Structure 1
Amino acid sequence: MIIIGDVLSGTSTSGVHHSGVLEGWFGDHWWNGRFFVLLVTTLLIFAPLASFKRVDSLRYTSALSVALAIVFVVITAGIAVLKLLVGSIPMPKLFPDIPNLASIWNLFTAVPVLVTAFICHYNVHSIDNELEDSSQIKPIVRTSLTLCSTVYVATSFFGYLLFGESTLHDVLANFDANLGIPYSAVLSDVV
């Protein structure tokens, strides 16, 4: 929901407003505000999806979400590699600045993101019950975790390589600016 709200209606980070897709296309209106966009998304998309009795019914929705995550990684990696070949990316810092011991706690701000990313574990039992051959559960879980881990690591790696120290907490907000490549606006909207 947070990602959908950020992408469609925009977000404000540290006093800087990043316009969402709807605001960028149509301007600032009441109907592309965060509350209304999330309400419509919940009522028209999430409520019908949540009403399915079997997890198997969500296979196409899940495949679409994984495909979109992979498209995001491919676009981010492509832009980063292109800018790396052109030489317009500065050398990123390999280690964080730690001015005092209290700043070490800032490293743990990524933990909730990673924990939330792998919260799907409660679905394993219902997926196992719906499988014709329950011995397939181990390879399915292994594949899922490997795919999710790869997408998250690739997103963080290429996002940091592309934006460096100016990487925002929400990497999608970085795509609000001109990326300095041809078709930058189109790629930002796709992302």
Structure 2
Amino acid sequence: FGSYPFVTSSNTTTAGACTGLGIAPNKVGEVYGIFKAYCTRVGGGPFPTELDNEVGEELRKVGHEFGATTGRARRCGWIDLPALKYAIMLNGVTELIMMKADVLDGFDTIYACTHYEHNGETIDYMPYDIISIQPKPILKAIKGWKTDLTKITDKSQVPSQVTDYIAFLEKELEVPIKYLSVGPDRTQTLTL
């Protein structure tokens, strides 16, 4: 799954999980899609929202975006909704879990790629030839929250800017976000 040839040899889709576990696809109930509040990529390949600047470096530093085994720095960028929609469609995702929202705490404004632009045309999906066409991201500015989310222990404490971001994502993705991670500890995952 991903932008071939920059992919793993493992099947990382829900269909691959069924095959690996020996479970029939019709026996699977809810399918949870787990995603970060921003994007990362390991190694080469297309990454339309990549931030090869101080903002990307800040995401990498705050998010501890380094390989666990190699220590290799991950590439970081804004959330890419066409790519996320593709993953949701391909895997039959029914509910979402947003991780690492706290990494965005320090930004006055965050951005989400809602579409791509190529040759003057707007594309609302991840193109199969993304490597050759290298589309430009169309970004939507979203007000940041400038709040330390790691201190939050209940969904009633979530700042309105975060709930606005979640509502925006749910509308764009057409899948509910049921859980929100606000820190690295297991206890820092909120049910919404």
Measured against the shorter chain, the TM-score band is under 0.3
Report the TM-score, using the length of structure 1 for normalisation: 0.24
Larger Rg: 1
> When you count helix as a share of all residues, which structure comes out higher?
1
Q: TM-score, normalised by structure 2?
A: 0.24
